[in-house]
Amino acid sequence: MKKCPECGDEKLMHVKDKGEVVCRSCGLVLEEKMVDFGQEWTEHDNNDDSKRRAGAPLTYTQHDQGLGTEIGNSSDLYKLNNKDKFKRLIKWQRRVSTAIERNLQLALSELKRISSYLKLAPAVEEESARIYTLAVQRGLVKGRGLEHIVAGSVYIASRVNDCSLTMDDICNASGIDKKTLGKNYRFILRKLEIKLMPADPINYVYKYASELGLSPVTQTKALKLIDKIKNNGLNSGKSPKAIAAGAIYLAAIINGEKRTQEKVAMVSNVTEVTIRNRYKEFSTKLGLDKQLSKIQASA
């Protein structure tokens, strides 16, 4: 059993889908982004080639998924048979591949641009490309800006993958205003019948806490608060950013690492008013107000 080098505790936990191992007591991240490079099948005898694959993996980030084949003009067949037939084939391949593929080429280069600007994880980029490809195939891009659908796909992919990108981030990267992005991503959701879970405040806690320079203890305190908030149904209908910000503000005070509302508002992109409303609500409804006024009295 592994121990946490920080506090020596053995209670380690896996954070879902993130490939991280975190110490339950102090919040230290021990391992992150673990990838298993081994093969995913068991080899029973050395001659079993049935599951081996060849070639590059399929990817949606290339317009033909990396599988494109072109009719060449130097093949033996070309030389042997009549040339007219092959010229016609080449011509037709070009024609057929134009509409959707050219669109995809353009869109994917836009996606690459956004992706590198936001430093997206490859999995998120891949998912964005997949969603976009589906959208094109269903003809959703017709009559709409290509870049709008790209931005929408990126937003959906980031939500699906629980990475803490906000609409504002995507807007900055793509130069599209929030209203348009909102319209388009919901349009894609509806047409592709994708169901989106509300974003989890927990994903924002890691980000905000590190930007505020808060200790791991405070971070885990905030996570525990969010747990309670969820159990008491205080999260429904509220913005996950606001919940994370409020919980962090409260956790920081309780742990004697107080940050000003202004600073928390800065990193979380919620207003001080909202942080006040949330943390007040949390402290009263979770019965922390007495503890809180004690701390504030002694400060």
Partner DNA sequence: AAGACGAAAGTGGTTGA
Partner DNA sequence: TCAACAACTTTCGTCTT
Give which of 141, 58, 65, 156 is closest to 103, Cα–Cα.
141
Cβ of residue 51: shortest distance to DNA, in angstroms?
A: 44
Complex with DNA: residue 135 or 199, whichever CB lies closer: 199
Complex with DNA: residue 63 or 159, whichever CB lies closer: 159
Residue selected from 83, 87, 179, 294 as contacting DNA according to rule CB under 7 A: 179
Distance CA 219, CA 224 (A): 9
Distance CA 219, CA 6 (A): 15
Residue selected from 38, 57, 233, 237 as contacting DNA according to rule CB under 7 A: 237
Using the rule CB under 7 A, is 274 a contact of DNA?
yes
Q: For residue 294, what are its two tokens?
A: 């004690």
CB 261 within 8 A of CB 275: yes
In the shown chain, the binding pattern of residues 180 to 199 toward DNA, with x for contact by CB under 7 A and - for none, equals --x---x-------------
Residue selected from 144, 228, 230, 238 as contacting DNA according to rule CB under 7 A: 238
Complex with DNA: residue 148 or 241, whichever CB lies closer: 241
Distance CA 290, CA 80 (A): 91
Residue selected from 141, 149, 242, 250 as contacting DNA according to rule CB under 7 A: 242
Cβ of residue 91: shortest distance to DNA, in angstroms?
A: 45
- Residue 13 bridge partners (DSSP): 22
Cβ of residue 94: shortest distance to DNA, in angstroms?
A: 41
Cβ of residue 77: shortest distance to DNA, in angstroms?
A: 56
Cβ of residue 261: shortest distance to DNA, in angstroms?
A: 4
Complex with DNA: residue 10 or 168, whichever CB lies closer: 168
Q: Where does residue 26 rank: exposed (0-12), middle (13-18), buried (19+ CB within 10 A)?
A: middle
Alpha helices in the chain (DSSP H): 76-80, 83-118, 122-137, 146-160, 167-174, 178-192, 201-211, 216-231, 240-254, 261-268, 272-285, 289-298
Residue selected from 116, 137, 232, 271 as contacting DNA according to rule CB under 7 A: 271
Residue selected from 239, 244, 248, 251 as contacting DNA according to rule CB under 7 A: 239
Using the rule CB under 7 A, is 272 a contact of DNA?
yes
Residue selected from 118, 124, 248, 270 as contacting DNA according to rule CB under 7 A: 270
Distance CA 129, CA 110 (A): 11
Using the rule CB under 7 A, is 162 a contact of DNA?
no
Complex with DNA: residue 146 or 295, whichever CB lies closer: 295
Distance CA 299, CA 295 (A): 6
- Residue 12 bridge partners (DSSP): 23
Using the rule CB under 7 A, is 277 a contact of DNA?
yes
Interacting span for DNA (CB under 7 A) from 50-58, 101-109, 115-123, 239-247 = 239-247
Contacts of 199 (CB under 8 A, 6+ apart): 159, 162, 164, 240
Give which of 34, 23, 32 is closest to 216, Cα–Cα.
23
Distance CA 252, CA 270 (A): 17
> Which residues lie near DNA (CB under 7 A)?
178-179, 182, 186, 237-239, 241-243, 258, 260-262, 269-274, 276-278, 280, 299
